[in-house]
Amino acid sequence: MSKKKSVSPYFTETDADQIRAAVKAVGHLEGYASITDLVEGATLRELKRLQRKYNGGKKWPGVPAGELRPGRRTREEMQHRKEDG
């Protein structure tokens, strides 16, 4: 089993409030004892979906920390995402 490493996603204040509310309200019913449990579970489900859709269900080769551009998306990237969604 791989050692866990800390990664910090960022959420708007409104989204963060809702994440905390969900964990408080139903986390115990769904098996989420913390925000980390919820975010990790959701992220890994999405990762599996992306692997099935774009990579034949296989894992991609790992990408070391620091190789992705840090920070928020640019306005252009945000616009492109809205057009796709």
Give the predicted TM-score (pTM) of the model: 0.75
On the question of pLDDT at 72 being above 80, the answer is no
On the question of pLDDT at 78 being above 80, the answer is no
User: pLDDT tens digits, residue range 21-45?
Assistant: 999 999 999 999 999 999 999 999 9
Determine the Cα–Cα distance for residues 85 and 78; give it in Å rounded to an integer. 11
User: pLDDT tens digits, residue range 44-65?
Assistant: 999 999 999 999 999 999 999 8
Instruction: Give 74's contacts (C-beta < 8 A, 6+ positions apart).
Output: none
The answer to whether 23 touches 35, Cβ cutoff 8 Å, is yes
